[in-house]
Amino acid sequence: MDTEHDSFFALPGTGAVVIRATGNLDFSSTPALRDKVETAASAAQATTVIIDLSEVGLCDSSGLGELLHARRRCETSGIQLMLAGPPPNVRRRLATTGLTALFEVFPSVTDALHHAG
């Protein structure tokens, strides 16, 4: 993830926190995502965390592992985790590894927000 351009923001009144990942989700970038997920899962008002993958170029096994960690972290806190906007190559990787069965995946953050709750 390109930490200079990552964003993390809460959407007031929705209970949703959006984490926008950019660049590559790989061994060198996953700690930044983990920190953001931890912050989001610890937020008192958070009921949903949406990881926006629309600007991710590559997601290797470290990135997939980190998404699984995010899922476990959110589950432990009773928070719904959604993935939004994965590009075709990331969507294929999620599908071929069977992870689409574990995640709610939506075409966009807007679509995820409509299903949140």
User: Tell me, what's the pLDDT at 9?
Assistant: 74
Question: CB count, 10 Å around CB of 20?
Answer: 21
Number of domains in the chain: 1
Per-residue b/e over 23-38, b at no fewer than 16 CB within 10 Å?
bbbbeebbebbeebbe
User: Tell me, what's the pLDDT at 42?
Assistant: 86
Full domain range(s) for residue 51 = 7-109
Please report, for the domain that includes residue 57, its CATH number. Answer: 3.30.750.24
22-69: pLDDT as tens digits: 999 999 999 999 999 999 888 778 899 999 999 999 999 999 999 999
Q: What's the rounded Cα separation, in Å, for the pair 37 and 83? A: 12
116 inside domain: no
1 inside domain: no
Percent of the chain clearing pLDDT 70 (strictly above): 92
60 inside domain: yes
4-14: pLDDT as tens digits: 444 777 777 78
The continuous run of DSSP H or E covering 12 comes out as none
- pLDDT surpasses 80 at 110: yes
117 inside domain: no
